[in-house]
Structure 1
Amino acid sequence: MEVLSHAMGTLLLLLMLCGSGRSAEDGTDKCKLTVESASERNQLKRLAPLLHKNFFVSTVKDAESYKYFFQFCGDAGGVVGAGVTQTDSKNVTTVVGRYDSTKAIGGSDWVMLIYENGENYKTHCSSAKRKAIIMISCDRKTEVGALEAVVEDRDRSDCFYLFELDTSAVCPIIESKLSAGAIILIIAVCLVAVYLIGGFLYQRLFVGAKGMDQIPNYAFWSEIGNLSADGCDFVCRSRKREEPNAYRGVASEPEEEPEERDDHLLPM
């Protein structure tokens, strides 16, 4: 019974994890592109860290105060289907752009998110529909910055609201590139570390060495200075070293060995 409950708990955890991953993917899918394309869809996926975050900014223009709400692929200001909304001082809310009419253009460190199909202008822009442009730029020091309202262009037929937002989500990934020398140095350091640690353990555990004798090849390393000096002396000297003349004394004449007499062998 205990095993069964443990298995059920594991299965429930896996389902929760799968469900959370699916919800994150479905979040970006809520943004409907005006023309579905893989490149624009990839730009939207770059903005996935902005999901479920509400952004707000207040402005004052021509003695009128406005509040703007923005949500990525979500209902801004609680208005269903609205990606960007505007609320004036009289608490009248206007949909500036909808996330079911989205465009996404991106570069290496920026994404331009465009929400179209907002409410029509009443007296400006030839009664065209409103459009919101959110310029999302790279800032490695900021996970998600504050929304800024830059300008509302109403002096031409193609009017738009321009916003800016800084985030690290659109920053390019910095690939670490190691030179050949750095790779060789890292390999050499690793080999030396393996040699020292392995040799130390072998000397201590298998040989039973104590003190300085635990250092692998201690006799060789203790003589490395003398060996280096001998090698330098052998390589760097340009002429032979002359041995000093040794004192040679006058050799004494060899003593004559006594002559053996064989008189006793003669017959008497």
Structure 2
Amino acid sequence: MKVFSSCRGISFLVWIVAFQLVLFESGVYSVKSTKDCTLISESPLQRKVLERLEPLVGKNFTAEDKASNESYTYVFQLCGDAGGVRNAGLIQVEKNTQKPTVIGKYTNTQAIGGSDWVMLIYKNGEKYDSHCNKEERKAIIMISCDRNVKAGTLEGILEDREKEEDCFYLFELDTSSVCPVIESKLSTGSIILIIGFSLLAVYLVGGFLYQRVIVGAKGVEQFPNYAFWVEFGNLAADGCDFVCRSRKREESPAYRGVATDNLQEEPEERDDHLLPM
């Protein structure tokens, strides 16, 4: 019975693993990334631009358009199926009929980037019915730097379709993902000084508290290693005096306690006037 039970457990685990593999293959559990975008002309530079947008992958951004007679909702997804429409990077959904229109596909992507912005272009959308000489639709998403938001709100700017060719939909999106990295302006010397002053502050505060609370010192003796620093100051002063003083130092007297002022020669007394004439 135990062997039969263990075999059933192993079979159950095998079925679970197989089911998960099927889900991964079908895309239900697939991990999205900017690599899912197919560039029109593959280049390392455009790939690097797309990698800056990695934090936005897998998120749907929506924008409302109420300027026209019919209200539309636009759905944008970076390198993913917008609104669940396969290969669609940006779609237009009519509110009355809920019919989606593909504006651009992420399988036909172009990425252009600057220091604090990225312009994402989705091409190969559905053709216009009557505008723009019935060419394919195209979406341009201008993604700009805003350090205050991780992923902002998608805004529809305009639909330029009153011409014969090269029509497009323009959108804006703010995010901190495209913001340049702020480099530290501190030099190596400044960093060393900051670390040094921080360690000194910890030493003084910690030593003061230890001397006062643990040792029970009072007055200047609360200063950490007070005796050492006093002796160090005296030695430093002696060294400075020895190196920096230019005048000759007087030799100490042979006997202690005798001042040098008393050892000066007294004026010689002459006694010639006592001799007989």
Shorter chain as denominator, the TM-score bin is: 0.5 to 0.7
Aligned match of 2:128 = 121
1:186-238 alpha-carbon deviations (Å, 9 max, x no partner): 2432553576589789999xxx9653557443136569999999x9xxx9xxx
Residue type of the alignment partner of 2:138:
K
Aligned match of 2:270 = none
Aligned match of 1:164 = 172
C-alpha distance in structure 1 between counterparts of 2:123 and 2:208, whole Å: 70
1:157-185 alpha-carbon deviations (Å, 9 max, x no partner): 10000000000111111011213652342
C-alpha distance in structure 1 between counterparts of 2:68 and 2:209, whole Å: 80
Aligned match of 2:66 = 60
Return the offset for 1:29.
Answer: 1.4
User: 5+ unaligned residues in a row in structure 2: which ranges?
Assistant: 1-23, 25-29, 245-260, 262-277
Q: Counterparts of 1:227-266 in structure 2 under 5 Å?
A: none
C-alpha distance in structure 2 between counterparts of 1:30 and 1:52, whole Å: 11
Q: Structure 1 215/173 Cα, relative in aligned 2: closer, same or farther at 3 Å?
A: same
State TM-score, norm by structure 2: 0.65
C-alpha distance in structure 1 between counterparts of 2:173 and 2:228, whole Å: 65
1:25-57 alpha-carbon deviations (Å, 9 max, x no partner): x52111100111101111111111111111111
Structural RMSD (CA) = 4.1
Q: Counterparts of 1:126-145 in structure 2 under 5 Å?
A: 126-145=133-152
Residue type of the alignment partner of 1:178:
L
Aligned match of 1:91 = 98
C-alpha distance in structure 1 between counterparts of 2:101 and 2:136, whole Å: 11
Return the offset for 1:65.
Answer: 1.0
Residue aligned with 1:68, SS: strand
Aligned match of 1:186 = 194
Q: Counterparts of 1:102-117 in structure 2 under 5 Å?
A: 102-117=109-124
% identity of equivalent residues: 58
1:44 aligns with 2:71: no
Of 169-178 and 86-95, more deviation after overlay is shown by 86-95
C-alpha distance in structure 1 between counterparts of 2:189 and 2:42, whole Å: 47
User: 5+ unaligned residues in a row in structure 1: which ranges?
Assistant: 1-18, 236-245, 247-268
Return the offset for 1:71.
Answer: 0.7
Aligned match of 1:239 = none
Q: Structure 1 160/192 Cα, relative in aligned 2: closer, same or farther at 3 Å?
A: same
C-alpha distance in structure 2 between counterparts of 1:223 and 1:57, whole Å: 75
Q: Structure 1 200/80 Cα, relative in aligned 2: closer, same or farther at 3 Å?
A: same
Return the offset for 1:91.
Answer: 2.5
Total equivalences in the alignment: 220
Residue type of the alignment partner of 1:102:
T
Q: Structure 1 194/86 Cα, relative in aligned 2: closer, same or farther at 3 Å?
A: closer
